[in-house]
């Protein structure tokens, strides 16, 4: 559904700052990533989003294109970040149709709630494969284009590049691993890996002008993650524990994205930008409505969330 600008990006950014630029985003049909891409498109970029679900990805691409007249937004479904070949094909099609890749968002992720007792080896591996291997594959498939873009749009920190910025990647991570988080071992391990990947990329490719950063969203309203993973009967309590007293908005994640990709973020590299109202500083004892440590000691089953384990029948 087309959104009004105020829902996905602030008024403070200048229209056209990403003109003639291309953003490539994995997991681009999701709530957070689609808002990030929509903001970039509104501010001038063309885009390519990829996802596993064909209908959802193509529909979202059409929807994002409404953010700016004349915008080109490609939506490639049936692309699984766990397959490097599938990603490389999508990258080639994007470059052929849009002319290059200047910005990347590695946003594809998998999540569900399970304690270590409830987490099979295959379940753990699935999340590691989607998050860590998928992010690495995204890097491998897009990096040559980011290096080219960084070379074309150099920033010396004094005068803005006349052709704007380019050669930048953002990984969408999380904050669970800052403290450790019960029921989220798989995701904590995966996101710690993603943060390490971003930092190493910053170190190895900074000398070529590429910047690599992480955005770590906290609880963001209206997202698939919150819809699938939070206990509906504990919302008031969970909000009370957030120092800013509310959930975040997708617009707040988009604004952080625009900052890092724009001339304002030129010297930010190898950083994790936490956008969570300081929620992570209080997070461990709260466990999203699952009482700690009783839930674990009682070997209870995860109930009361939409994204619970499906029976194999
Ligand atoms: N609790 C415990 N284990 C679970 C689970 C849950 N809620 N959901 C899936 N698993 C297990 C499965 O049982 C399976 O393990 P097994 O073979 O030992 O039984 C393993 O995880 C893989 O499940 P499968 O459904 O085959 O994997 P998939 O690759 O199709 O899906 C997931 C990956 C599991 C991450 C799935 O939740 C997904 O596709 N998520 C995408 C959407 C998403 O999570 N977005 C992020 C929102 S924050």
The pLDDT assigned to 291 comes to 85
Interval 113-170: pLDDT, tens: 999 999 999 999 999 999 999 999 999 999 999 999 999 999 999 998 899 999 999 9
Residue 107 has pLDDT above 70, yes or no: yes
- Any catalytic annotation for residue 191? yes
CB of 225 within 6 A of ligand 1: the answer is: yes
* Residues 276, 176: Cα–Cα separation, whole Å: 12
In the chain, the percentage of residues whose pLDDT exceeds 70 is: 98
Q: List Cβ neighbours of 302 (8 Å cut-off, separation of 6 or more).
A: 113, 114, 118, 183, 290, 308, 309
pLDDT tier, 285 (very low <50, low <70, confident <90, very high otherwise): low
Region 284-310 average pLDDT:
82
Could you tell me which of 240, 236, 221 has the C-alpha nearest to residue 282?
Answer: 240
Tens digit of each residue's pLDDT (9 = 90 or more) over 10-24: 999 999 999 999 999
From 191, 212, 238, 251, the catalytic residue: 191
- Name every residue whose Cβ is closer than 8 Å to that of residue 312 and which is 6 or more positions away in sequence: none
pLDDT in tens, 18-55: 999 999 999 999 999 999 999 999 999 999 999 999 99
Q: How confident is the model at residue 68 (pLDDT cuts 50, 70, 90)?
A: very high
Q: Report pLDDT for 312.
A: 66
What does the alpha-carbon distance between residue 257 and residue 273 come to, in Å, rounded to a whole number? Answer: 10
3-class secondary-structure state, position 175? coil
Q: What is the pLDDT of residues 69-79, one digit of tens each?
A: 999 999 999 99
Of 221 and 290, the one with more pLDDT: 221
**Whole-angstrom distance, CA of residue 64 vs CA of residue 39:** 9
> Distance, CA 15 to ligand 1 centroid (Å)?
40
Closest CA to 150 of 106, 105, 101: 101
- Rg over alpha carbons for the chain, rounded to the nearest Å, is 19
Nearest to 264 by CA among 165, 171, 177, 182: 165
Ligand 1 centre to CA of 302 (Å) is 14
14 is catalytic: no
Contact 115, 187 (CB under 8 A): no
Q: Which of 173, 188, 238, 262 is catalytic?
A: 173
Q: How many Å lie between the centroid of ligand 1 and the Cα of residue 265?
A: 36
For the Cβ of 109 lying below 6 angstroms from any atom of ligand 1, the answer is yes
pLDDT tens digits for 167-209?
A: 999 999 999 999 999 999 999 999 999 999 999 999 999 999 9
Q: Please give the span between the terminal C-alpha atoms of the chain, in angstroms, as a whole number.
A: 35
Q: Is the pLDDT of residue 313 over 60?
A: no
Residue 240, pLDDT score: 87
The CB of 126 under 6 Å from ligand 1? The reply is: yes
């Amino acid at each position: 559904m087309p959104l009004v600008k105020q829902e996905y990006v602030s008024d403070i950014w200048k229209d056209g700052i990403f003109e003639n630029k291309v953003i490539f985003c994995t997991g681009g049909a999701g709530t957070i990533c689609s808002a990030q891409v929509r903001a970039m498109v509104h501010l001038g970029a063309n885009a390519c989003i990829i996802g596993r679900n064909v209908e959802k990805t193509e529909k979202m691409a059409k929807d994002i294109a409404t953010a700016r007249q004349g915008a080109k937004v490609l939506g490639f479904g049936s692309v699984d970040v766990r397959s490097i070949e599938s990603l490389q094909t999508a990258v080639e099609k994007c470059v052929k149709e849009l002319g290059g890749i200047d910005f990347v968002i590695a946003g594809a992720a998998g999540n569900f709630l399970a304690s270590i007792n409830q987490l099979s080896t295959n379940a753990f591996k699935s999340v590691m494969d989607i998050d860590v291997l998928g992010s690495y594959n995204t890097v491998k498939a897009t990096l040559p284009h980011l290096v080219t873009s960084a070379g074309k749009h150099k920033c010396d920190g004094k005068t803005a590049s006349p052709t704007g910025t380019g050669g930048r990647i953002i990984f969408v991570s999380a904050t669970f691993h800052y403290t450790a988080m019960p029921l989220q071992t798989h995701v904590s391990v995966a996101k710690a890996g993603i943060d390490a990947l971003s930092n190493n990329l910053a170190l190895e490719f900074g000398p070529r002008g590429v910047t690599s950063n992480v955005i770590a969203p906290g609880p963001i309203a209206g997202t698939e993650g919150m819809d699938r993973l939070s206990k509906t009967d504990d919302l008031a309590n969970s909000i009370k524990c957030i120092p800013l007293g509310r959930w975040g908005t997708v617009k707040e994640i988009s604004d952080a994205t625009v900052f890092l990709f724009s001339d304002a973020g030129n010297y930010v590299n190898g950083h994790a930008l936490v956008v969570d109202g300081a929620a992570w500083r209080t997070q461990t004892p709260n466990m999203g409505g699952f009482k700690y440590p009783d839930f674990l000691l009682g070997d209870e089953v995860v109930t009361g969330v939409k994204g619970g384990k499906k029976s194999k029948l």
